[in-house]
Structure 1
Amino acid sequence: MHAIHGFPPAKVAEPLRADEIHVWRLHRPKGTGRDPLLSLIARYLGIEAADVRLAENEHGRPRLDARHGDALDFNWSHSGEQALVALARGVAVGIDLEQRRKRANALAIARRFFTAEEADWLDTLDEEAQRTAFLELWTAREAVLKALGRGIAFGLDRLSFRHEANGLVLQQLDGDDPAAWHLSSLDIGTDALAALAWRGAPRCIRTFALADDE
């Protein structure tokens, strides 16, 4: 789970190559709903935001309506007033963003929903490190499940991660080959954690922050 550093400001969506994943950091004020997401997707489609149509798969994962073709996939996550959007061509992506906040019961949650090995690892860490590691495990799970097209109802204990020097690596995923997956952490500052996941060939991850005047 390699960290990606920096979200340089940008105003215009650059061409999205087949070997890339673009990740945008957006400001999402309360009450704006999906408007920031639709506005960004419209830039890639070359249409007006009002003309973007979304649909959902059988598990509720948002996707572009069939009228837009199947070349562009996206996924998004929001927490507080910020959001992250991942876009790719020819591969399903999953992204998750979580604000840092104290969870007095983080270990108890891990014991209930994560694997025993993951919970045991968390139990070896001090309080601050444990909170960070818990969020890393949570965002990694969400990212993989969203890329898979499933939600947490799939079962949080049906996938597991191991901690290596460079971060988390997908170790097990029921019904799938974990070696076929890629997982990256996204460095978005000290107030939140985020993870990006996809199944398939390695891709170049490019990060952007939508300029304030856009």
Structure 2
Amino acid sequence: MPLQRAIFVLASPASLRVAANPNHRDNRVPVVPMSVTAEFPGKATFVFVDADNLALQAWEPRTLADTPTTGLGEADVHVWLLQLQQPPHTLEDLATSLTEEELARSSRFHLERDRKRFIAARSLLRQLVGRYAGMPANAVRFLANSHGKPRIETEEGLAAFEFNLSHSGDWAVVGFARGVAVGVDIEQIRPVPDMADVAGHTFAASEAKSIEALPDDQRIDGFFSCWTRKEAYVKAVGLGLSVDLKTFNVHVTPTRHVDNIRYPETGAAYRVEGLRPLQGYLSAIAVEIPGAATGVVASRPLKHFALAV
């Protein structure tokens, strides 16, 4: 099986800046890229990062303008991790790419913190989508299916790539894929009132029992591992929470276990794995397995990943 290549990019927490206006003198986003090479069944490529490897001082800074997007090949996946907590002048730059409708949405948040996070997440998504589509950020037109899964429209029609955004706390994760569906989720680990009841009402019975059986200090991670994997899967399927979360099972431990899930209505299959991108956060990525609707789902976990700076 040939090795495929993917990119995980972390926006620098200390110096993230973006100019939504292409004529702005500082039209750059300092980022840190990590190239990840790993085995994967079929053509699709995954990216995995552990919090222990996020050593900013060891990486060579790059800018969004310098980071190539043309390398998004068929069935490849690029994943971006973006910080949403930004200084006022950066948010002003970011907001200039938003539409009137998006600005109106931002004004409806009750908490100023949430308004700022929305502006940062939506604007940075526009920056990234614009780069992959070859258009200015403020020209990006988002469309959505009946369940809310976004696509973008170009002059030639729908873009040839798919993308998905999730954000929690001060961080967002964005996945891009060409030729396959992709779904991502990220959650800040936090207390969940009546967690056992929530798990029992939301997850499959076996998952709720597995979470309850974990040691006390691992139970909250088990809950969010299960939650992020399920969210990533239903987002990749494109049907949102119209998919009953009790009808399929995932691993509840935050490790690199692989979940291969076939959606019965279409026969399409999806590979789901979790990651811990930062301390205090859990995330998951789901990618459609090419050709799975007409063949047997191949499954083997990634054996290694390599960082290159």
TM-score tier (shorter): 0.7 to 0.9
Q: 1:120 aligns to what?
A: 209
Instruction: Please show how residues 133-172 of structure 1 align to structure 2 within 5 Å.
Output: 133-162=222-251, 166-170=256-260
Secondary structure at 1:110 match in 2? helix
Higher strand share: 1
Residue 35 of structure 1: which of 105, 123, 136 is its match?
123
1:187 shift after superposition = 2.8
Instruction: Please show how residues 1-214 of structure 1 align to structure 2 within 5 Å.
Output: 4-5=48-49, 10-11=62-63, 12-14=66-68, 15=70, 16-29=72-85, 30=116, 31-32=118-119, 34-65=122-153, 67=155, 68-162=157-251, 166-170=256-260, 173-175=263-265, 177=267, 180-201=269-290
Q: Can you give the 5+ residue segments of structure 1 that lack an aligned partner in the other structure?
A: 207-214
Secondary structure at 1:160 match in 2? coil
The answer to which structure, 1 or 2, has the higher relative contact order (CA under 8 A, 6+ apart) is 1
Structure 2 distance, partners of 1:10, 1:187, is 23
Confirm or deny: 8 A CA contact 1:3 1:187 kept in the other structure. Answer: no
Structure 2 distance, partners of 1:13, 1:158, is 40
CA RMSD, aligned part only? 2.8
Structure 2 distance, partners of 1:3, 1:73, is 16
**Residues 1:86 and 1:19: Cα distance change in structure 2 (over 3 Å):** same
Secondary structure at 1:59 match in 2? coil
Secondary structure at 1:101 match in 2? coil
**Number of matched residues?**
203
**Residues 1:18 and 1:10: Cα distance change in structure 2 (over 3 Å):** farther
**Residues 1:45 and 1:182: Cα distance change in structure 2 (over 3 Å):** same
Letter in 2 for 1:64: I
Secondary structure at 1:65 match in 2? strand
Q: 1:209 aligns to what?
A: none
Query: For residues 22-75 of structure 1, what are the alpha-carbon distances to aligned partners after superposition, in whole Å with 9 as ceiling and x for unaligned?
Result: 000112241515111001111112221011110110111111125453311100
- Greater Rg over alpha carbons, structure: 2
TM-score, structure 2 normalization: 0.59
Confirm or deny: 8 A CA contact 1:95 1:195 kept in the other structure. Answer: yes
Query: For residues 65-104 of structure 1, what are the alpha-carbon distances to aligned partners after superposition, in whole Å with 9 as ceiling and x for unaligned?
Result: 2545331110010112211110011111000010010114
**Residues 1:109 and 1:103: Cα distance change in structure 2 (over 3 Å):** same
Confirm or deny: 8 A CA contact 2:75 2:179 kept in the other structure. Answer: no
Structure 2 distance, partners of 1:166, 1:82, is 21
**Residues 1:176 and 1:166: Cα distance change in structure 2 (over 3 Å):** farther
Confirm or deny: 8 A CA contact 1:162 1:170 kept in the other structure. Answer: no
Structure 2 distance, partners of 1:172, 1:116, is 19
Q: Can you give the 5+ residue segments of structure 2 that lack an aligned partner in the other structure?
A: 1-45, 86-115, 291-297
Structure 2 distance, partners of 1:21, 1:192, is 21
Identity %, equivalent residues: 31
